[in-house]
Chains A and B, each alone.
Chain A
């Protein structure tokens, strides 16, 4: 990473650090109409104040950066870095098209939100939570701290270096990744880890045992759970999970109905003495 940041001046590095800290508050005042606009503005203010000397230019930049903004938080500093580098170019040259700043910003936030959500929310958080849950179930008090560290160390590193990378490479970098088609490879690799973890957690966390046994004349002739285990361990939890997935994806059943249905069915099965 250091080879990219060589040509940034000391002053600019300080601005990027300020941006990093301010970007934590991106969604502090999130609104339906403009999402994280105020947080984006807040993170951009150090740059705007530094780059623009004329009062009117400063106001224009502030209006520009108060536009709709919504992306994954881990990816936000990268977008901010790119935007800030473009604001600098705009302040230095007369013929720079200021509208392109928002165009690039808007085109970056969509795909980056998708990548960030699936990698950090879908995979990293799931891994961190999965490990922490198994620790907590064994009574380990450090579980929540481990959860927060496992999730936040990678995320904060990406945020820290993402800002510098975005600022140095400007708008070329993400375009290059796209042109080379490397985004798809990255997303696929992350999804493989995620899916394997979800499979592992299905086995670890979804529990469903049959209590009902076939009894004839006071003698138990068939223990249903034992029989099922001989066919395949965890057959019922796996089937239930796949059923939920199918209902969610193909039948568009809402999550609230699915949760409610699970509770009702469990109680009914308990009343019938099956589980």
Chain B
């Protein structure tokens, strides 16, 4: 019972809380993992699994309401089950992926069916100038939708842990090994999703530079970030100069046609460039 409450409250305050507090990233696996660990008495495991799930869910962000999974609910339940069953990533991973997909579907359902119909209510209240009503509904809807959402981990924890445990016991070790391998490979999917956002032929070589300096020089990530920033500043400076130069060239022919009262100096310049 305590575990069910703890996990439900964490989901409410982090996954729901980040919607109230401007996507401050409270609902990411790296935050939820250790938090669940703290409440269930195993911070280390929570931290480790949270970090592993973060790499897998790294590419998944909620942009404009479109997403592939909801990592918050998935991490909270997967970490809780893993701690209660004294399992590692091998227990957490096969739970986290389907839970993430189911979580997103439920979240979308609430978003469309529960909150959606109130859009017109907001409009009519604005027409009447009902300021207090708007504010009340604005916060009321938040509370309602995330209360409903937090019920899922509550009941999942209440009924699910024993059922899940008995199913997990039947999984042979070679499959668990395969799942651990999958856990190490799955960050590739996350990386691929980020590359889809950032990739551009002109700058793609920087991806391989980043890979190379870690693979061979074993540079820590923070050093790569600083190095990347330096390169980016250099490139931006050069782009800016090029851009100014291009504008100067583009501006000249226009001056000939529009400006009829040029000074002698300008005319000479135009002659020189033409």
Contacts and interface: CB of A to CB of B under 8 A. Distances in A.
Interface string A210-239: 000000000000000000000011100110
Interface residues of B, number: 110
A155 B227 CA distance: 21
Interface string B139-162: 111100000000000000000000
Interface string A23-60: 11111111111110111011001000100000100110
A89 interface: no
Interface stretch (B76-84, B231-239, B266-274): B231-239
B184 A208 contact: yes
A205 B55 CA distance: 7
A217 B94 CA distance: 39
Contact of B189 (A33, A197, A200, A259): A259
B231 A137 contact: no
B9 interface: no
Contacts of B40: none
Contacts, number: 362
A198 B195 contact: yes
Contacts of A155: 24
B13 interface: no
A273 to B, nearest CB: 9
User: Quick one: which of A27, A45, A192, A258 has the most chain B CB within 10 A?
Assistant: A192
Contacts of B193: 248, 255
Interface residues of A, number: 110
A266 B198 CA distance: 27
A37 B134 CA distance: 11
B23 to A, nearest CB: 5
A191 interface: yes
Interface in A44-84: 45, 49, 55, 58-59, 62-63, 65-66, 70, 73
A202 interface: yes
A198 B59 CA distance: 10
Contact of A201 (B20, B123, B191, B243): B191
B192 A193 contact: no
B225 A70 contact: no
Contact of A234 (B51, B182, B206, B211): B211
B149 to A, nearest CB: 13
User: Quick one: which of B101, B202, B239 has the most chain A CB within 10 A?
Assistant: B239
A194 B204 CA distance: 11
B129 A59 contact: yes
User: Quick one: which of A34, A155, A208, A255 has the most chain B CB within 10 A?
Assistant: A255
A151 interface: yes
A15 interface: no
Interface stretch (A1-9, A92-100, A125-133, A163-171): A125-133
A59 B178 contact: no
A70 B182 CA distance: 36
Interface in B88-133: 94, 97, 101, 111-112, 115-116, 118-119, 122-123, 126-129, 131
14 contacts: A24-B22, A25-B138, A27-B22, A31-B111, A122-B197, A136-B50, A136-B54, A192-B206, A194-B198, A199-B212, A201-B210, A202-B211, A245-B199, A263-B182
Interface of A: 23-35, 37-39, 41-42, 45, 49, 55, 58-59, 62-63, 65-66, 70, 73, 113, 117-118, 121-123, 125-134, 136-137, 139, 141, 143-144, 147-148, 151-152, 155, 159, 180-182, 185-186, 188-208, 232-234, 237-238, 240-241, 244-245, 247-249, 254-256, 258-260, 262-263, 266-271, 275
Given A136-B50, A192-B228, A262-B189, 17 more contacts: A32-B112, A41-B138, A42-B135, A42-B138, A45-B131, A63-B126, A130-B221, A136-B48, A144-B30, A148-B25, A181-B247, A193-B225, A200-B219, A233-B215, A258-B192, A263-B94, A269-B178
Q: 3 shortest A-B CB distances, which residue pairs?
A: A199-B210, A270-B178, A267-B178
